[in-house]
Chains A and B, each alone.
Chain A
Amino acid sequence: MTAFEFAEGYSAYLLLVVLFAIGLYGMMMKQNLIKKIMGMSIVQSSVILFFIVSAYKDDATVSVIDYARGVTNPDLYLNPLPHTLMLTAIVVAVVTLGVSFALVIMIYKRFKTLHEPTLRELMK
């Protein structure tokens, strides 16, 4: 398999890994806490999409038996498990976002800034 074929075949996964890296970059390098939260959200979304992409099949449908399509060939149906798992993961991501915003509000009320170097200066 040449590098080009690899990139073509796994393009979605490669994109998601790049997305994961972008999120990590945002969390590490950005100095504003809200931007850090955005990075965190990107990381979580990339993982969620990773599961979804892993369940993708060409020309397949939802896992409800459809006699018109035929019931003997499993290639015609998607694996529904990753999607359902990711519903739970989305809930977790939303709750994490909620908690992080609550923390950011508390930080802003106390220090009147969300700029990390300034915060560190203020907390010495």
Chain B
Amino acid sequence: MSDSNLPLLIPFTFLLAALFVPLAGSVRRWASQPLAVAAALFSLGCSVAGMARVFASGTFRHYLAGWQPPIGIEFVFDPLAAFFLVMITGVGCLVLIYSGPIAVEEILGKRIGFYSLAMLLLAGLTGMVVTGDLFNLYVFLEISALASYALIAVGDQRAPYSAFRYLALGTVGASLYLMGLAFLFMSTGTLNMAEMAAILPYVNQQPQVVVGIVLILLGAGLKMALFPMHAWLPDAYTNASSPATALIAPIGTKVAVYLMIRVLIISGFPAIITIISWVAAVGIIAGSILAIGQSNLKRMLAYSSVANIGYIVLGVSLANPLAFIGAVLHILNHALMKAVLFMSAGGIFSKLGTLDIFKLRGLPKKMPFTTAAFLIAVFSMVGIPPTGGFFSKIYLIFGAIEASAWVFVAAILISTVLNFFYFFRVIEFSFFKPYAKTEDPAQEQKSETLKMDEMSMSMLLSTLILAAAIVAVGVYNGEIVDNFIAGAVPGF
């Protein structure tokens, strides 16, 4: 087991950048974005290098200040962490590139703060993934949460109130996690994940351990907006500015799922997973139905996030290798899809001035490339073959069949139909709905001859790269599963 600075370097780069971005921004206003992108690129490089090393020579660790666990805090770079790190830094980097022009447009005076907070958010998220200590994880959880409250508070008139609700529920989630951790700490006397995993099998019948795990899972559920605890999410995503949503929506809630996966692996998949599966299955259906009722594009996407968190949690809680692979693959897919969808929604809002899905007529003519990216993401959401979404759903369905859980198979299939319904409504209104009839023929003429008016180059390029990645994940899903995910599957 070799020592290396790589695991520490990734969150540390972001923390350092969070300090230097305002400094650079106060000297030259434009300098904040390139610096943030550079930090994200450097961390992406570190993550890829670490991933190569994990698959070449196995898990490696870094002991903070040289203190070995159980006394010191360790940072662990294992296959699952490597997968999440590359995903977070990759998507984060592209969203930061995308955010340049739209940040000027929407949050001009607050750009420097935005990039500083974005760095803090990424520091928290990557820190949560690499840390091997449960209390350290809480600290990183709160760093990322506090940064995202502030990011969400910058937006339209209603944003501060949505952010306040997110803050209230997020704090309860973190408190529940900490309370659960207190119970586990009292029974095992350790905070180190590996050591706790070794001790828990001897004490997992004790009531306080069961209570602790339930509290931790509740806290994680609140943070990831699992169905009955999703109240904060739609408002927060709808009212925040476009760059903030594009950054938080794809990766923010996924890391809470990572927390849940870690805790379930540590505790050896206790019996409560049956309840979680049912909650997740209800969430899949409920999220999809709620999404149908929305007329605001961003709000619809937010509810679809609730449904997709349901897929992921269902896959994890079915506790068999196929479903687990499906869940992890769906985390990657959903991060890519949601990034593309929210990024194109931001572009649509800036060019068309509306997010009402009934007023999107003429979108394909005005923004053909954005629409193409949007379509690819929609196909993947619904699960149409060459895109990634199809394969993760297939794994999930096979996993549910292997567990003989026919109700869950039905839930996934029904939700696919519902997905089809609410996403193709957008396509129908933007492609096929006749233009509004007006008395004035000149007005009608104008809508027939819409000029192309695309998003700016950097926004379009990063959106298209992510859209291409969706197809690539679909085409190379076998290689991704064999090389990157199979090593992360725990023994069931």
Contact = CB atoms under 8 A, between A and B. Distances in A.
Nearest to A106: B160
B19 interface: no
B158 interface: yes
Contact of B139 (A33, A88, A96, A99): A88
A110 B157 contact: yes
Contacts of A40: 168, 171-172
B139 A27 contact: no
Contacts of B172: 24, 27, 40, 43
B423 to A, nearest CB: 27
Contacts of B336: none
Interface in B102-138: 135, 138
A47 B161 contact: no
A95 B141 CA distance: 13
Contacts of B269: none
A47 B179 contact: yes
A104 interface: yes
B418 to A, nearest CB: 27
Interface string B142-186: 100010011001000110110110011001101100110010011
Contacts of A24: 172
A103 B153 contact: yes
A83 interface: no
Contacts of B174: 92
Which of A92, A102, A104 has the most C-beta atoms of chain B within 10 angstroms of its own C-beta? A92
Nearest to A48: B178
Contacts of A15: none
Interface string A85-96: 100110010011
A12 interface: no
B139 A92 contact: yes
Contacts of B171: 40, 43-44, 96
A14 interface: no
Contacts of A100: 164, 167-168
Contacts of B157: 110, 123
Interface of B: 135, 138-139, 142, 146, 149-150, 153, 157-158, 160-161, 163-164, 167-168, 171-172, 174-175, 178-179, 182, 185-186, 191
Closest 9 CB pairs between A and B?
Answer: A106-B160, A92-B142, A103-B164, A107-B160, A47-B178, A43-B175, A47-B175, A123-B158, A103-B160
10 contacts: A36-B168, A43-B175, A44-B175, A47-B178, A96-B142, A103-B153, A103-B164, A106-B153, A107-B164, A119-B161
